[in-house]
Structure 1
């Protein structure tokens, strides 16, 4: 159902961006619609976490297993919650101007009502989410020396 893929070059290191995305506990501090995060278990290679998303009258919690392949890949595997499925991947590729970030998300809610509500705002919501990660990088690591640039799809 809703799918979004994006590539951007950001003037931060892969290690910095990996650490930012892997820090699931902090998502409610900066990520729109994320109203709760609880890490159930964590090792160097994997974490299991519950995220609670809130949008208008809806509030749903889901559990995911997150594979951490430092410093270049993060793969999110949906375990249970309001989705039929959820696929989410981050890739951090060294680039002459910092790091090329590749982000992919694809999901479908079990509830037709929730799917219809989210479907109307999905693309803008994902763009806001990606921008929230960029702003968080600026907060944590300082303003980059140049603006991030979209990378044309291959």
Structure 2
């Protein structure tokens, strides 16, 4: 089963501050539910390869993701795109689109679509799917406001 979730929110923050929270994936275990560990494998100007360990109800799984992005500016949208390249997911595609409205206001569009390889993860996560996604988005918003 393929899961999808979308969210769009206006936030009273500068695009570069939002970008920093989203792109600092090595800090995700500090505030994202079910993210147990992140190891940056390779990082360049506009690409990150990372190994992520997810833990849900005592069951752990690992996946490698490729994160591509363009740097934020007040003149153009910033896109951060994440794809799983091996591991826990059969398929994972995640996009953050940050659209600056002015110096201190940004529209944030979030999209994720994924399917687990493991029937166990699929079953366990499926029960609480919408709640889990809302909790993750809420964790990002809380982190953003705590750091600003």
Task: Tell me the TM-score normalized by structure 2.
Answer: 0.92
Q: How far apart are 1:95 and its partner, in Å?
A: 2.3
In the aligned structure 2, how far is the partner of 1:54 from the partner of 1:90?
23
2:94 matched residue in structure 1: 88
User: Is contact 1:9–1:95 with CA below 8 Å preserved after alignment?
Assistant: no
For residues 79-137 of structure 1, give each alpha carbon's deviation from its aligned partner in whole angstroms, at most 9, with x where no partner exists: 10111100100000012571110000110011222111101111111111011011101
In the aligned structure 2, how far is the partner of 1:44 from the partner of 1:139?
26
In the aligned structure 2, how far is the partner of 1:59 from the partner of 1:113?
11
**Could you tell which deviates more after superposition, 39-48 or 110-119?**
110-119
Q: Which secondary structure does the structure 2 equivalent of 1:28 belong to?
A: helix
Q: How far apart are 1:34 and its partner, in Å?
A: 0.6
Q: 1:100 aligns with which of 99, 102, 107?
A: 107
Q: 1:79 aligns with which of 68, 74, 85?
A: 85
RMSD between aligned alpha carbons? Answer: 1.1
Gap runs ≥5 in structure 2: 73-77
Q: Which secondary structure does the structure 2 equivalent of 1:119 belong to?
A: helix
Q: 2:147 aligns with which of 97, 115, 140?
A: 140
Q: Which structure 2 residues correspond to residues 12-23 of structure 1 after superposition, within 5 A? A: 12-23=13-24
In the aligned structure 2, how far is the partner of 1:65 from the partner of 1:34?
16
Gap runs ≥5 in structure 1: 142-154
Q: Which structure 2 residues correspond to residues 1-154 of structure 1 after superposition, within 5 A? A: 1-71=2-72, 72-95=78-101, 98-141=105-148
In the aligned structure 2, how far is the partner of 1:108 from the partner of 1:101?
24
Q: Which secondary structure does the structure 2 equivalent of 1:21 belong to?
A: helix
Q: How far apart are 1:53 and its partner, in Å?
A: 0.8
**Could you tell which deviates more after superposition, 76-85 or 90-99?**
90-99
Q: Which secondary structure does the structure 2 equivalent of 1:32 belong to?
A: coil
Q: How far apart are 1:42 and its partner, in Å?
A: 0.3
